[in-house]
């Protein structure tokens, strides 16, 4: 089983040194990503989803950021220990990313063709002509109509949804092993969201790319992911298969998240559930469970100590005192 793990994140820690204090944006995150798998990372805004994945690519701005510990093993090699010129052969090539806001993620001053071709030329060693053909092919796959005409346009000549398609085409152009999609649909309107998710699912399945799908919406993750990690305040609080997380959520936070997904199938007149309180301020956080102030089932020990992760079954973990031994 472990031999088809292509990306292994072990106890990753990323801190930001701010004027207000030390911000532990990611504090001991571990997960495995298998070939062809789609892994969801879910959590509220500020829970450290983006930072985790930027750290995987060593793209954290230093300073104020710092990768304070952990390993990121890609095909057995630790990306965090790699020299810059080596990790650059992986970025955009073996592991590529698409981002939340397609309106600002493409360079407004360069043609789409320039931006796509430079990646392909860099990693695949093609000449520009072949790289352009390859780009057109990718745009076609990504559902851009008449790509041979539109490839020389500038980003502002595309709509948001189209730009995200361009980003996807660009990210997959070097046939990466891993695609990290950081809230790829958050900035788009609902009808387009479904199309973009479908496109990612379809293309990555075809190319055999493993996907890390970051989102704050369980609705997005439901139809897409094999496994789900739930993040809260820089840590993974629960993990399991999509069925396990939706069918039998353990952590009170996960339960709250699921209850707060609007359901169209149940015609209830109830008000939409929302988790009370605010996401925690993770600056100078004490060693308690950061969720306890918002938790209905908090125990005394939750205020004192962070729970160890309990393994309920293989690949099914939860970090909550309700499930820990010796509470």
Partner 1 sequence: MARFFIRRLLSLVPTMFIIVTLSFFLIRLAPGGPFARERDLPEAILQNILKRYHMDEPLPKQYLRYLGDVIRWDFGPSLRYRDRSVNEMIDTTLPVSTALGLTALSLAVILGVNVGIVSALKQNKWPDYTAMSVAVVGISVPLFVMGPILQMVFAIWLKWLPPGQWLSDHGLKAIILPAVTLSFPYFAYIARLSRASVLEVLRSDYIRTARAKGLKESVVIVKHVLKGALLPVVTYLGPALSGIVTGSVVVEAVFVVPGLGRPFVQAAINRDYTMIMADVIVYSLLLITANLVVDLVYGLLDPRISYK
- Residues of span 118-177 touching ligand ATP by CB under 6 A: none
Closer residue to Mg ion in complex, CB, 50/209:
50
Residue from 101, 133, 137, 148 binding partner 1 (CB under 8 A): 101
The stretch near ligand ATP (CB under 6 A) out of 42-50, 137-145, 161-169, 204-212 is: 42-50
The stretch near partner 1 (CB under 8 A) out of 16-24, 117-125, 133-141, 293-301 is: 117-125
3-state class of 86 per DSSP? helix
Closer residue to ligand ATP in complex, CB, 100/173:
100
Measured CA to CA in angstroms, residue 43 lies from 103, 214, 257, 298 at distances of 23, 8, 9, 20
List residues bridging with 95 in a β-sheet. 91, 178
Evaluate whether 97 touches 40 at the Cβ level (below 8 Å).
no
Q: How many residues bind partner 1 (CB under 8 A)?
A: 31
Choose from Mg ion, partner 1, ligand ATP, none: what does 226 bind? Cβ within 5-8 Å by kind. none
Choose from ligand ATP, Mg ion, partner 1, none: what does 64 bind? Cβ within 5-8 Å by kind. ligand ATP
What is the DSSP code string of 159-176? -HHHHHHHHHHHHHTT--
Residue from 38, 47, 50, 227 binding Mg ion (CB under 5 A): 50
Choose from Mg ion, partner 1, ligand ATP, none: what does 170 bind? Cβ within 5-8 Å by kind. partner 1
CA atoms within 13 A on the CB side of 201: 15
Structure tokens, 27: 């504090």
Residue from 8, 33, 34, 43 binding ligand ATP (CB under 6 A): 43
Structure tokens, 155: 């980003």
Residue from 5, 22, 59, 207 binding partner 1 (CB under 8 A): 59
Query: Cα separation of 49 and 212, whole Å?
Result: 10
Residue from 90, 162, 213, 237 binding partner 1 (CB under 8 A): 90
Closer residue to partner 1 in complex, CB, 95/320:
95
Closer residue to partner 1 in complex, CB, 28/92:
92
Q: What share of the chain is helix, strand, coil (3-state, %, to 5)?
A: 35, 25, 40
- Rule CB under 6 A: say whether 98 interacts with ligand ATP: no
- Residues of span 169-198 touching ligand ATP by CB under 6 A: none
Residue from 38, 50, 113, 135 binding ligand ATP (CB under 6 A): 50
Choose from ligand ATP, partner 1, Mg ion, none: what does 65 bind? Cβ within 5-8 Å by kind. ligand ATP
The residue assigned the tokens 């041979």 is: 148
Query: Cα separation of 327 and 109, whole Å?
Result: 58
Least distance from partner 1 to the Cβ atom of residue 316, Å: 32
Strand (E) or helix (H) holding 70:
strand 65-74
Measured CA to CA in angstroms, residue 122 lies from 88, 119, 131 at distances of 10, 5, 10
CA atoms within 13 A on the CB side of 255: 12
The stretch near partner 1 (CB under 8 A) out of 91-99, 252-260, 261-269, 313-321 is: 91-99
């Amino acid at each position: 089983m472990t031999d088809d793990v292509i990306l292994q994140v072990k106890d990753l820690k990323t801190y930001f040194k701010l004027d207000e204090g030390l911000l532990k944006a990611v504090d001991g995150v571990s997960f495995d990503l298998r070939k062809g798998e789609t892994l969801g990372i879910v959590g509220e805004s500020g829970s450290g989803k983006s930072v985790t994945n930027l750290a995987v690519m060593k793209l954290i701005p230093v300073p104020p950021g710092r990768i304070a510990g952990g390993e990121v093993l890609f095909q057995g090699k630790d990306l965090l220990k790699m020299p810059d010129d080596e990790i650059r052969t992986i970025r955009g090539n073996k592991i590529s990313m698409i981002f939340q806001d397609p309106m600002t993620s493409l360079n407004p001053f360069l043609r789409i063709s320039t931006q796509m071709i430079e990646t392909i030329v860099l990693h695949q060693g093609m000449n520009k002509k072949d790289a352009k053909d390859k780009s057109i092919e990718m745009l076609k796959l990504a559902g851009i109509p008449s790509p041979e005409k539109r490839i020389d346009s500038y980003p502002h000549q595309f709509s948001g949804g189209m730009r995200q398609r361009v980003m996807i085409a660009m990210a997959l152009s070097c046939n990466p092993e891993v695609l990290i999609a950081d809230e790829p649909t958050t900035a788009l309107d609902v009808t387009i969201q479904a199309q973009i998710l479908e496109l990612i699912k379809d293309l990555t399945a075809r190319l055999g790319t493993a996907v890390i799908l970051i989102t704050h919406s369980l609705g997005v993750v439901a139809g897409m992911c094999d496994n789900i990690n739930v993040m809260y305040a820089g840590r993974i609080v629960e993990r399991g298969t999509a069925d396990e997380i939706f069918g039998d959520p353990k952590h009170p936070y996960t339960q709250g998240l699921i209850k707060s997904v609007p359901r169209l199938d149940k015609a209830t007149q109830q008000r939409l559930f929302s988790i009370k309180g605010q996401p925690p301020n993770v600056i100078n956080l004490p060693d308690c469970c950061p969720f306890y102030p918002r938790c209905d089932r908090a125990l005394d020990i939750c205020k004192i100590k962070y729970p160890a992760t309990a393994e309920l079954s293989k690949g099914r973990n939860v970090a909550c005192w309700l499930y820990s031994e010796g509470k």
